A and B are shown apart, each in its own frame.
Chain A
Amino acid sequence: MSDKVLMKGNEAIAEAAIIAGCRHYFGYPITPQTEVAAYMAKRMPKIGGTFLQAESEIAAINMVYGVASTGKRVMTSSSSPGISLKGEGISYLAGADLPALIVNVQRGGPGLGGIQPSQSDYFQATKGGAHGDFHMIVLAPASVQEMAELTVKGFDLADKYRMTTMLLADGTMGQMMEPVSLDFDIAETVEKPWATTGTKMEREHNIVNSLFLQPEALERTNFERFERYKVVEENEVLYEEYMMDDAEICIAAFGIAARVSKNAINEARKQGIKVGLIRPITLWPFPSAQFAKAAERVSSIISVELSMGQMIEDVKLAVEGKVPVTLCNRAGGMIPSPEQVLEAIKAANNGGDK
């Protein structure tokens, strides 16, 4: 019998979180991520965990703050408008250096927008997502298997660096079904001497807080925090290169856009066009060095996105004007077709002498 199961992306996130030791889930339903909550509602009571449907997204993220303070693995999930509501809590988590996993199964926006897939929360996810100087580690899965693997990795990274990790998926990734192997290596548990677990009158009490009474102290924690972010940027960049060895045109795409792009690349290769893909798996830290390296030899870069063009700004920053970077996109819940991407590749090929 196969060791795989057939799962929706949303279910894979939930089961992987349980395997990673998460026993506390707080959320509020919203399409297209509701299956994460529905799955947790069925599974958590059977394994002694907590599933709680909060009265709002804001309540849910503050429950996450509470459990994270005790050092336990904890998560919440939502979709775009719900993530905006969680913004304040996300900033508080960052200000208190608390590890947690936040899942955003993106839908079209802005505003109430729609329920179809989107990648238009890239800015929100990678540039902080709320007030104050901070970053989240942002992971972008491109298959149901990666939905599961990056969930586990997200918890590990969050614990290791005392940061929130955001799993940035989209509606298609959440709803599609693929076979998944749930056989993971779980990293060793990280010691959390800062957690509020009770002093037993044996140590000074721990304080988890994002309020600083003296501006000098607040400045110092900001500088220290960004030293930690620098280590993340040096050590945790993840990306996939596809057919980049001899590529003359490079596509930049993550998540569902990368899957569509691979189909277009395969077709373009049949037509003799040398095109490849750099797929960022971590959106923060961004694989800037890989794009800078590619810019030394490709004639142009095409950023394929389900947004009005957000990641393209990071690609442009990375290549420092060395090559033109163009956008191939759909927005508002629509997905670029392989044909549309192929047309963009052909246009770049025709005008693409460096």
Chain B
Amino acid sequence: MKFKRITIISGHYGSGKTNIALNLASLLKKQQDNVAVADIDIVNPYFRTKDSEESLKEQGIRLICSPYANTNVDIPSLPQEIYSVTDDKSLYSILDVGGDERGALALGRIAPAIKEENNYQMLYVVNMYRPLTQDADSAIEVMREIEYACGLEFTGIVNNSNLGLETTPDDVLDSLLYAGEIAKKTDIPLLFTTVDKSLFAPLKDKISNLYPLEMQKKL
């Protein structure tokens, strides 16, 4: 995958954004020296990039996240270092945005600078097995709400349709039509489909642009 300087990962609540952000960061680190994951999720109280702090450190990837993540400070705060994403032009970063339009609101804070530099891509992560985005039209509705909230437009779609540990190869195959329909109706390219690495072998000859994911460890 060819990266822009800033890669924004956004989508519906629970579509798998954090996991994809962490995996893309590992991939990006193989191409660039100065890499960061920036967690600007102001919505989710649990299961954050912070859970992967150690693993990111080992890989030499900088983690930019609220000092209050995984604590009892229950306020929607952004890390002050968030400005290095836009100001430090030598830094390649993956932005993990909170779910839905409420989460995307925080992105609006740095959206003007991102837009001005215009060296970014914004990926919409979809999961057909999530309750409020089960058909293309409802997924597009959520997509437009996010764009409206943050002031940026998506440039690509990532199909991460899964049922957690119960995902079968057929579940993934069944989602291709759905992801294709979203791409067609919005005229935004479907960049790739992501699966847990255990499903990569049975599917790699059946799905083009398939990308295996390492799962973030749940504490």
Q: How far is the CB of B99 from chain A (nearest CB, A)?
A: 9
Cβ-neighbour of A179 out of B13, B74, B166, B170 (below 8 A)? B166
The verdict on B110 contacting chain A, using a C-beta distance below 8 Å, is: no
Q: How far is the CB of B57 from chain A (nearest CB, A)?
A: 23
Kindly supply a per-residue 1/0 record for chain B positions 100-135, scoring 1 wherever the CB is within 8 Å of any chain A CB and 0 otherwise. Answer: 001000000000000000000000000101111010
Please tell me if the beta carbons of A113 and B164 are within 8 angstroms of each other in the complex.
no
Instruction: Kindly list chain B residues whose C-beta atoms are within 8 Å of the C-beta of A7.
Output: 14, 130-131
| A119-165 interface (Cβ within 8 A of B) | none
Please tell me if the beta carbons of A32 and B163 are within 8 angstroms of each other in the complex.
no
The verdict on B168 contacting chain A, using a C-beta distance below 8 Å, is: yes
**5 A-B pairs with least C-beta separation:** A114-B72, A179-B163, A175-B46, A1-B174, A6-B129
Cβ-neighbour of B132 out of A1, A42, A172, A179 (below 8 A)? A42
Please tell me if the beta carbons of B164 and A177 are within 8 angstroms of each other in the complex.
yes
The verdict on A15 contacting chain B, using a C-beta distance below 8 Å, is: yes
The verdict on A116 contacting chain B, using a C-beta distance below 8 Å, is: yes
Instruction: Kindly list chain B residues whose C-beta atoms are within 8 Å of the C-beta of A114.
Output: 72
Q: How far is the CB of A183 from chain B (nearest CB, A)?
A: 14
- Alpha-carbon distance A11/B134, docked complex (angstroms): 14
The verdict on B66 contacting chain A, using a C-beta distance below 8 Å, is: no
Kindly supply a per-residue 1/0 record for chain B positions 52-78, scoring 1 wherever the CB is within 8 Å of any chain A CB and 0 otherwise. Answer: 000000000000000000001010000
Please tell me if the beta carbons of A113 and B45 are within 8 angstroms of each other in the complex.
no
- Alpha-carbon distance A35/B131, docked complex (angstroms): 13
Q: How far is the CB of B164 from chain A (nearest CB, A)?
A: 6
Please tell me if the beta carbons of A115 and B163 are within 8 angstroms of each other in the complex.
no
Instruction: Kindly list chain A residues whose C-beta atoms are within 8 Å of the C-beta of B10.
Output: none
The verdict on A171 contacting chain B, using a C-beta distance below 8 Å, is: yes
Known: A177-B14, A179-B164. A115 touches B45 (CB 8 A): yes
> Chain B residues in contact with chain A, CB under 8 A?
13-14, 44-47, 72, 74, 102, 127, 129-132, 134, 162-164, 166, 168, 170-171, 174
Please tell me if the beta carbons of B171 and A178 are within 8 angstroms of each other in the complex.
no
Please tell me if the beta carbons of A175 and B45 are within 8 angstroms of each other in the complex.
yes
Cβ-neighbour of B134 out of A5, A115, A175 (below 8 A)? A5
Please tell me if the beta carbons of B72 and A333 are within 8 angstroms of each other in the complex.
yes
A interface residues, tally (CB under 8 Å): 29
- Alpha-carbon distance A32/B44, docked complex (angstroms): 9
Instruction: Kindly list chain B residues whose C-beta atoms are within 8 Å of the C-beta of A108.
Output: 72
| Inter-chain pairs besides A115-B72, A177-B14, 18 sampled, C-beta below 8 Å | A1-B170, A2-B163, A2-B166, A2-B174, A4-B163, A5-B129, A5-B134, A5-B163, A6-B163, A7-B14, A7-B130, A171-B46, A172-B46, A175-B47, A177-B164, A178-B164, A179-B163, A333-B72
Instruction: Kindly list chain A residues whose C-beta atoms are within 8 Å of the C-beta of B129.
Output: 2, 4-6, 179
A107 and chain B: residue at smallest CB distance: B72
Please tell me if the beta carbons of A5 and B130 are within 8 angstroms of each other in the complex.
yes
Q: How far is the CB of A43 from chain B (nearest CB, A)?
A: 8
- Alpha-carbon distance A172/B168, docked complex (angstroms): 25
Interface centre among B13, B46, B47, B166 (most CB of A within 10 A): B46
| A1-28 interface (Cβ within 8 A of B) | 1-2, 4-8, 11, 15
Q: What are 29 pairs between A and B in contact, CB < 8 Å?
A: A1-B171, A2-B129, A2-B163, A2-B166, A2-B168, A4-B163, A5-B129, A5-B131, A6-B129, A6-B163, A6-B164, A7-B14, A7-B130, A32-B46, A39-B132, A114-B72, A115-B74, A116-B46, A116-B72, A171-B45, A171-B46, A172-B46, A175-B44, A175-B47, A176-B47, A177-B164, A179-B129, A179-B164, A333-B72
